[in-house]
Structure 1
Amino acid sequence: MTSAATDPFRFHGGRLAAAAAQFPSASAPWIDLSTGISPWAYPVPEMAPDVFSRLPEPEYVAHLEQAAAKVFKLDNLSEILAVPGSDMAIRILGTLFTKKRAAMLTPIYSGHRTAWPEAEEISIDEVTDQELVILANPNNPDGRVVSPDQLRALPGQVIVDEAFAETAPSVSMLPERDGAIVLRSFGKFFGLAGIRLGFVIADAAIVERLRTMLGDWPISGIAATIGLAAYRDGEWQDRQRQRLKEAAARLDDMLGNSDLNILGGTSLFRLASHDNARELFVILGQSGILVRPFSRDEKQLRFGLPASEEEWQRLENALNLWSDKQ
């Protein structure tokens, strides 16, 4: 098997068109387990026609920010900004801190490496006097968690990507972020990545600068309407955390039964390793199942959660097919 089998999929998940081209005879429909996006989406509320025909009013976006701030336990609304996805925020922040000596805790989401290509790659124990420290917490792809107290003790400006913190709110730096810039993602936990919604929580001066850069309509009225409903629905959020936890435990059992070594993750995904992971990637692809490979360690694969019993069965069948060939 050549490296070409996994090359298009190493930067980030979700590349189903590339997968269909790579494995044209694969079973359909495709099962996308390559991302950390919940397979169960928040039910989209009915929307008035003018949500689609009018530009979103600033006051309406402000209502969304207020609802999110309540969930994040924030009191100062001048310190939160709705953005069109946390990935966009990462790229913009990369332009604001170009002169600082930066380091990032690795492994890390690939978008951070794009935003800060010159940043030193270190571990938490190697942080000393850096001017800018970037990390994801919980981390992607291995689920590593650094305690909020330890993060508050880091030197310089800290940027914390909390894209997966909705599944484990206790690991968040919020509300006592101590000057850190915190990024939150809506789409992963709520299963609606396509609407592109996230938040930056930072000192008011940074938020105002970002708000000016994004302009008068930073997000769509559709994103504001759905996000407002979802953040106000605490019961749904509690149910979502519970079913994600149960599904992750089921995935652990299934991967373990196939002799994969589970390295970590969150309740939205698991990182696993095996000496023959590249062969497993191909067998899964031939079965119409896309997982996430990594260029830095070709023994590793990240698995998201199947959405239905049919998908669970297809995954189990493909894993059994691979196990039989070992």
Structure 2
Amino acid sequence: MLEHGGKLREAMQRYGGSDWIDLSTGINPVGYPAPALSPDAWQRLPEPDPALVRAACAYYDAPGLLPVAGTQAAIQALPRLRAPARVSVSAPSYAEHAHHWSRHGHVLRQVPYTALDAAVRDSDVVVIVNPNNPTGATVPPGQLLAWHAQLAARGGWLVVDEAFGDTAPALSIAAYAEQPGLIVLRSVGKFFGLAGLRLGFVAAAPALLAQLEDLLGPWAVSGPAQEIALAALRDRAWQQATQARLARDGERMRALLPGASGTPLFHWWAQAQPEAFHEHMARRAIWVRLFRDAARGIRIGLPATEAHWQRLEQALRDWNQR
């Protein structure tokens, strides 16, 4: 499997210690407080709940959505719904997209964000992460819709991964996803801090959603996940307070990392010595995400508590004074 954030047990085994701060994922560290669950959530087969879909459509401003077991489930399934095609994936970005489109007979190329406009002209499928993970790069909605129109005119697809889009709602094009050839992925795990639920949504034309649902099979999303997500998607007071907190914390992080880019949930730092920095932080029981190869740099998520902020700030001072 590909390398991802998390894997805190692995860090502990390698470096020792137990009081670790995990900043490697970009997931909201102060997640939605899950409510008590009904007995039915555990005892019944998890048939789809229309109330969950209605709440998600209202939250994401989408005409129609399919709940899936995390956006990862859709990322793995979508390449199986097309005949072999010419596929361009934005790069660097979430590596699972390129990994799965490279299979099933597709011809894959990874394209820098600055070259996407040219790639649209000779691709059948274009996949874009917006905001991008790990760099935070963004593409304006108008540009995305123009690219979709070009692709759809010849039966192509534009796939837009908006997993980190909650803190930048103006970027979303989920409202247009009923149009053929436009597929938008949304995640409950990032903004709501509920990655363990394994829940996401796909916005697309009804015919494609039906194909995807058939491919994924019955009971794709657990009953507990549906109940917790329904409460989270309806809780506008929590959402508003969290947006404000993440904005403040994002600005605090940006001030600590000169030249960094990103979103309120994570920052991308093109560190000149990323391996050494990663090792420096790990020796202080702070786990950040190291990117090698073409995307050389560090991604840092948000601390959960003031004590964690203080430890991070001290570790950064130590690094700068070495």
Fold equivalence (TM over 0.5): yes
CA 1:130–1:311 in structure 2 vs 1: closer, same or farther (change >3 Å)?
same
1:275 equivalent to 2:272? Answer yes
Distance 1:64 1:189 in 2: 17
**Alignment pair present for 1:149 and 2:142:** yes
1:290 corresponds in structure 2 to: 287
Does the residue aligned with 1:153 lie in a helix, a strand or coil?
A: helix
Q: Which runs of 5+ in 1 are unaligned?
A: 1-7
**What is the alpha-carbon distance in structure 2 between the residues aligned to residue 69 and residue 129 of structure 1?**
33
Q: Aligned match of 1:89 in 50, 69, 74?
A: 74
Distance in 2 (alpha carbons) for counterparts of 1:15 and 1:141: 17
Q: Is the 8 A contact 1:278 1:298 kept in 2?
A: no
Q: Which residue of 2 aligns with 1:205?
A: 207
- Alignment of 1:160 onto 2:160: yes
Q: Deviations over 1:112-144 (max 9, x none)?
A: 121112411123232222110001011111111
Structure 2 distance, partners of 1:189, 1:109, is: 17
Partner of 1:45: 35
CA shift for structure 1 position 218: 1.2
RMSD (Å) for aligned C-alpha atoms: 1.6
Please say if residues 83 and 219 of structure 1, whose CA atoms lie closer than 8 Å, have aligned partners that are also in contact. yes
Report the counterpart of residue 5 of structure 1 in structure 2.
Answer: none
Q: Which residue is 1:119 aligned to?
A: 108
Q: CA deviation at 1:30?
A: 1.1
Task: Return the letter of the residue paired with 2:289.
Answer: R
- 1:1-326 aligned at under 5 Å gives the runs 11-24=3-16, 26=17, 28-58=18-48, 61-75=49-63, 79-117=64-102, 118-122=107-111, 123-127=115-119, 128-154=121-147, 155=151, 156-177=156-177, 178-179=179-180, 180-256=182-258, 261-262=259-260, 264-297=261-294, 299-325=296-322
The answer as to whether partners of 1:278 and 1:299 remain within 8 angstroms in 2 is no
2: CA distance between counterparts of 1:42 and 1:62? 21
Residues 1:173 and 1:278: Cα distance change in structure 2 (over 3 Å): same
Q: CA deviation at 1:94?
A: 2.0
Tell me how far 1:298 sits from its aligned partner.
Answer: 6.8
**Structure 1 CA distance for aligned equivalents of residues 40 and 295 of structure 2:** 49
Report the alpha carbon displacement of residue 50 of structure 1 after superposing the two structures with TM.
Answer: 2.4
Post-superposition offset of 1:108: 1.0
Deviations 1:124-173 (A, max 9, x none): 23222211000101111111111111111112310000001111110001
* Deviation at residue 72 of structure 1 after TM alignment: 1.8
Any gaps of 5 or more consecutive residues in structure 2? none
CA distance in 2, matches of 1:323, 1:209: 53
Counterpart Cα distance in 2 of 1:274 and 1:161: 26
Tell me how far 1:297 sits from its aligned partner: 4.5
Per-residue Cα deviation, 1:191-248 (whole angstroms, up to 9, x for no partner):
0100100001111111111111222211001010011011111121111111111001
Residue 25 of structure 2 aligns to which amino acid in structure 1? Answer: T
How many angstroms does 1:98 deviate by? 4.7
Shift of 1:314: 1.0
One-letter identity of the residue aligned with 2:19: P
- Match of 1:183, SS state, is strand
Q: 1:98 to 1:311 in 2, by over 3 A?
A: farther
TM-score, with structure 2 as normaliser: 0.91
Q: In the comparison of the two structures, how many residue pairs are matched?
A: 305
Q: Larger deviation: 304-313 or 178-187?
A: 178-187
Kept after mapping to 1: 8 A contact 2:28/2:193? yes
CA distance in 1 between counterparts of 2:278 and 2:295 reads: 10
TM-score by length of 1: 0.89
SS at match of 1:187: coil
Distance in 2, Cα, partners of 1:73 & 1:297: 35
AA in 1 matched with 2:3 = F
Partners of 2:51 and 2:216 lie apart in 1 by 18
Secondary structure at the counterpart of residue 130 of structure 1: coil
